[in-house]
Amino acid sequence: MKKNSGQYKKEIIEVFSKVSGDKNLMFEFLRDILTPAEFEEVSLRWQIVKKLNKGETHREIAGDLGLGISTVTRGSRELRNKNGGFALVLKKFFK
């Protein structure tokens, strides 16, 4: 692990927290801090989680999003953690 990694993570969480109320600022920040490929990957991961939450099969999701089954499986594994970030965000915003 890199030196000060924990501190850096806390700082970036603080930044996200502060810009979260401004969608345009959040978009610009994400576009600048992430490579286009990273931005795409994060966006696809969220789509995987939403589709899994709706009950779509791994195969359906992989085909629809053009991903490998293993990518979908990773999202599924994380979603099974009821105290994990995916489950908590889905519960909060998609009741």
16: nearest Cα among 6, 7, 26, 24 = 26
pLDDT in tens, the chain (95 residues): 678 889 999 999 999 999 999 999 999 999 999 999 999 999 999 999 999 999 999 999 999 999 999 999 988 988 888 889 999 999 888 86
Residue 95: predicted pLDDT: 66
Q: Check residue 46 and give its pLDDT.
A: 94
**Integer Cα distance of 23 and 17 in angstroms:** 12
Domain spanning 22-93 has what CATH number? 1.10.1270.10
Compute the distance between CA of residue 3 and CA of residue 34 in angstroms, rounded to an integer.
Answer: 21
Cα atoms found within 13 Å of the Cα of residue 79, Cβ hemisphere only: 20
Residue 61 · residue 69 · CB < 8 Å: no
Contact 66, 90 (CB under 8 A): no
pTM over 0.85? The answer is no
Domain ranges of the chain: 22-93
All residues at 6 or more sequence positions from 52 whose CB lies less than 8 Å from its CB, including other chains: 61, 72, 75, 76, 79
